[in-house]
Amino acid sequence: MLLMAVAIAGGMAVWQSMNSQAQIISKVSKLDMVDVSLVKLQVGDKAFFSVTLKNSGTTDFDSVEAGFWDNNNKYISFVKNSVNLLPGQQWSEDNTFDASVTANQKYTVKISGTTSDGSRFSMAKTVSAMG
């Protein structure tokens, strides 16, 4: 009887451990760039930058950032804290910036985010400026 109780208790401990590991493994932190636009405006050193991100993972994002480096290696970005971007939801932002951009030139756009459990996700994509 004692051996049976020990076997059951051991089996429960193993099951709980495997279950918690499976829950951790199933958490995915991922953002997708649904749309990104960079446009050189005809007035001075101005650029229009817009981005739409989608949470394609399984955890909430608390903050997101999207930005690019201009011709002068100046980093221009949107930062949104307390965004609460749930899985499947999208976030969009656009604005006009003082930035040196050349039409038809390629620029690196970086996106990143921090999830509710502190995990970080980041990626970069090359886009051509319009103008």
Model confidence pLDDT, tens digit, residues 101-110:
999 999 999 9
Class of domain 31-128: mainly beta
Model confidence pLDDT, tens digit, residues 40-82:
999 889 999 999 999 999 999 999 999 999 999 999 999 998 8
pTM of the entire structure?
Answer: 0.76
What does the alpha-carbon distance between residue 34 and residue 112 come to, in Å, rounded to a whole number? Answer: 14
- Give strand ranges (E) for the chain: 31-40, 46-55, 61-69, 75-80, 90-98, 106-115, 120-128
What does the alpha-carbon distance between residue 94 and residue 97 come to, in Å, rounded to a whole number? Answer: 10
